[in-house]
Amino acid sequence: MQAKNKNTPGVIILVLSALGIALSLYLTYLYYSKAVAAFCAAGSGCDTVRESSYSAILGVPVALLGVIGYSLIFALSLTFKGRDRWFLLYLASLAGFVFSAYLTYIEIFVLHAICFYCLISAVIITAIFLILLLKKPVQAPSFSSSKLITLSVVVLGVVLFGSFFIQSNQLSAGSDNTFQVGLAKHLGEMRATMYGSFQCPHCTTQKLLFGKKAFKYINYVECHPRGENANTALCYAKDVHSYPTWEINGQFYIGAKSLQELARISGYKPDSVEKGTDK
């Protein structure tokens, strides 16, 4: 009976990591296919997070990193035994937990959008981490607590500041060959206009979806009188009172829109544009 109870946490971790792999594979599929996620409406937080510049690190989708991370935890659970297994699993789950917490912070405080599937993944990795942390006295009683705290701080710092540093440089560098830039240029050429306010969090979210490199091509009108280069007269003339509001082909669309939705509304087709350019 004791041996069975002792193995229970390992079985739970195997099941949770398998669920994490399946979930991350699905999110990776959505990233590349641009399909609408099940149980998520088009233009919802799922699309906002997926289409943001934070959805990839050095060109690698965050969802694919999730597949790798959960696969590592699954493999470690099967290949190592005793204290070594606990230690390696603890470090892997801690790294995943910190990275997930960082991404959740980005969703809530930067993008102002919540991805339902990302939250499920956050719960899974948190559960794995807590199980391992609580089982330390049983599975690794001789491991020094001071060493464990030191290593934990190192992992936390590397993951947290590494992610922030890489994504900050990535966002500032940008690229002229992205979907965001192509769509922004298309909207600019057709004289589409985004009306917004510097105090509007959803306007900030809309700008972040494009990124600094792309948003410079957008015809943006600041409607708040205290905003930079404000044009409140135009906003009143257009009867715009909700932000952001898009004016595309003479039609008005209220609220932050996913890039896919803006592409559909404006008739932007990157594949056909690229083919035409190649000719």
Q: Where a domain ends, among 173, 201, 229?
A: 173
| Spatial distance between the Cα atoms of 198 and 244, rounded to a whole number of angstroms | 10
DSSP letter for each residue of 199-266: T-HHHHHHHHHH-HHHHTTSEEEE-STTSTTB-HHHHHHTT--SSSEEEETTEEEES---HHHHHHHH
Task: Say yes or no: 163 and 263 in one domain.
Answer: no
Q: Where a domain ends, among 127, 144, 173?
A: 173
Element of type H or E holding 104: helix 82-105
Task: Say yes or no: 128 and 18 in one domain.
Answer: yes
Task: Say yes or no: 201 and 147 in one domain.
Answer: no
Task: Say yes or no: 195 and 272 in one domain.
Answer: yes
The predicted structure's pLDDT at residue 229 = 94
Q: Where a domain ends, among 135, 150, 173?
A: 173
Coil, helix or strand at residue 56? strand
The predicted structure's pLDDT at residue 38 = 85
Domain count, the chain: 2
| Spatial distance between the Cα atoms of 151 and 35, rounded to a whole number of angstroms | 40
The radius of gyration computed from the CA coordinates of the chain, to the nearest angstrom, equals 23
Task: Say yes or no: 168 and 206 in one domain.
Answer: no
49, 107 Cβ separation under 8 angstroms: yes
The predicted structure's pLDDT at residue 59 = 85
Find, among 102, 96, 256, the residue nearest to 168 by Cα.
102
Task: Say yes or no: 93 and 186 in one domain.
Answer: no
**CATH code for the domain in which residue 228 is found:** 3.40.30.10
**CATH code for the domain in which residue 93 is found:** 1.20.1440.130
Find, among 86, 19, 22, 31, the residue nearest to 55 by Cα.
31
Task: Say yes or no: 37 and 9 in one domain.
Answer: yes
The predicted structure's pLDDT at residue 42 = 63
Distances (CA, A) of 193 to 1, 78, 216, 266: 68, 56, 12, 11
| Spatial distance between the Cα atoms of 36 and 40, rounded to a whole number of angstroms | 7
| Residue linked to tokens 């306010």 | 197
pTM over the 0.75 mark? no
Task: Examine residue 244 and say whether the peptide bond preceding it is cis (omega within 30 degrees of 0).
Answer: yes
Task: Say yes or no: 56 and 130 in one domain.
Answer: yes
Find, among 97, 64, 85, 101, the residue nearest to 14 by Cα.
85
Structural domain harbouring 216: 179-278
Task: Say yes or no: 75 and 52 in one domain.
Answer: yes
Task: Say yes or no: 96 and 225 in one domain.
Answer: no
List CB contacts of 254: < 8 A, sequence separation 6 or more. Answer: 242, 244, 245, 246
Task: Say yes or no: 36 and 123 in one domain.
Answer: yes
Task: Say yes or no: 152 and 185 in one domain.
Answer: no
| Spatial distance between the Cα atoms of 145 and 136, rounded to a whole number of angstroms | 10
pLDDT digit of tens for each residue in the chain (279 aa)? 444 555 677 899 999 999 999 999 999 999 998 787 888 866 677 877 887 878 888 889 999 999 999 999 999 999 877 788 899 999 999 999 999 999 999 888 877 788 999 999 999 999 999 999 998 888 888 888 888 999 999 999 999 999 888 877 666 655 555 788 899 999 999 999 999 999 998 898 888 888 888 899 999 999 999 999 999 999 999 999 999 999 999 999 998 888 888 998 999 987 644 444 443
